[in-house]
Amino acid sequence: MTKVGIIGTGMLGEAVGLHLLDSKYEVIVYNRTKNKVENLVKHGAMLVDTPKNVAEKSDIVITVVKDASAVSDVAFGKNGIIYGVNSELVVADMSTINPNSAKEISQKFSDSGISFLEIPVMGGPNVAINGELVMMVSGKKQIYEKFKNIFDIIAKKTFFLGDSGTAHSIKLAMNLQIAMLALSLSEGITLTRKAGFDPEIFLKILNSTYFKTGMSEKKAYKMIKDNFEPTFTLQNLKKDLDIINNTAKSLGAHLPMANQANQIYQNAVDAGFGEIDYTGILAYLKKISE
């Protein structure tokens, strides 16, 4: 059976790894901070010391780290993936990064004789644990097809989108939706509260209309109870807003709302809300509305 390496066992990487183990795959793991691999090891993952060791033992290595600089560190840094190359190695990056960085990383892997796929996903650890992510893929189609069985375990839907950089461009448009939805829901809840109503009434009415969303039907009920246990941190969404705005600028796309949102999420990070869930933008609005 295909051996799958996972580099980066934060919230998303851990859930993907647990689901692969549950699906009887052999999983090899590395994380910069050692205690974050404990749960995976307890469930049967093999722990190794470096990204190089992961590469040596895997047919496919999935990187799930913070940003492009972290991908470069684990790929090309000391004891990085490229030093553990085996003849058939494929690297697939699930981190959300800038499309231009993805192209550069793809080229550097190719220069080292390693095939590279970009596999950004929609959905957090709560759905990854059941293999219900939605995956966007770019790179060489035959490599995607070779490992499609693994991607179909990780995700309920995969979309092959073409050459390097394409999957990340679409992923950015997706995360723009997340940022805006969390913000508009939070502003609606804040307005309702200030008008003296229980926000549950707002949600009940909203969810009776065409304008309801998965977020308003599910996560919003945690938000109004001030439950901001992170599945995707506010600071990681802010990181993505930076990428969205920089990419828009480089493409000549004018995105006024993304620009505004970037500033609001930055203010929330500066005010100490970065480590909680991205829906904690509601807690930040509550604080500035006091």
β pairing state of 3-7 and 60-63:
parallel
Region 160-179 residues binding ligand NAP, contact defined as CB under 6 A:
none
Nearest-approach distance from CB 55 to ligand NAP, in angstroms = 14
Region 229-288 residues binding ligand NAP, contact defined as CB under 6 A:
231-233, 236, 240
Structure tokens at 63: 């990187």
Residue 10 or 199: the one with the smaller Cβ distance to ligand NAP is 10
| 36 binds ligand NAP per the rule CB under 6 A | yes
Answer yes or no: are the C-beta atoms of 238 and 266 closer than 8 Å: yes
| 11 binds ligand NAP per the rule CB under 6 A | yes
Residue nearest to ligand NAP (CB): 10
Q: What number of residues does the chain have?
A: 290
Nearest-approach distance from CB 194 to ligand NAP, in angstroms = 30
- CA 174 to each of CA 86, 155, 239, 252: distance values in angstroms, whole numbers, following the listed order: 34, 16, 14, 19
Distance CA 23, CA 19 (A): 6
Structure tokens at 149: 């069985």
Stretch that binds ligand NAP, among 120-128, 150-158, 183-191, 269-277 (CB under 6 A): 120-128
| 13 binds ligand NAP per the rule CB under 6 A | yes
Region 57-116 residues binding ligand NAP, contact defined as CB under 6 A:
64-66, 70, 73-74, 95-96
Residue with tokens 């040596």: 56
Distance CA 213, CA 106 (A): 35
| 8 binds ligand NAP per the rule CB under 6 A | yes
Nearest-approach distance from CB 175 to ligand NAP, in angstroms = 8
| DSSP labels, 160-201 | EEESTTHHHHHHHHHHHHHHHHHHHHHHHHHHHHHTT--HHH
β pairing state of 26-30 and 46-47:
parallel
| 121 binds ligand NAP per the rule CB under 6 A | yes
Nearest-approach distance from CB 132 to ligand NAP, in angstroms = 12
- Residues in contact with ligand NAP by CB under 6 A are 8-13, 31-33, 36, 64-66, 70, 73-74, 95-96, 121, 124-125, 231-233, 236, 240
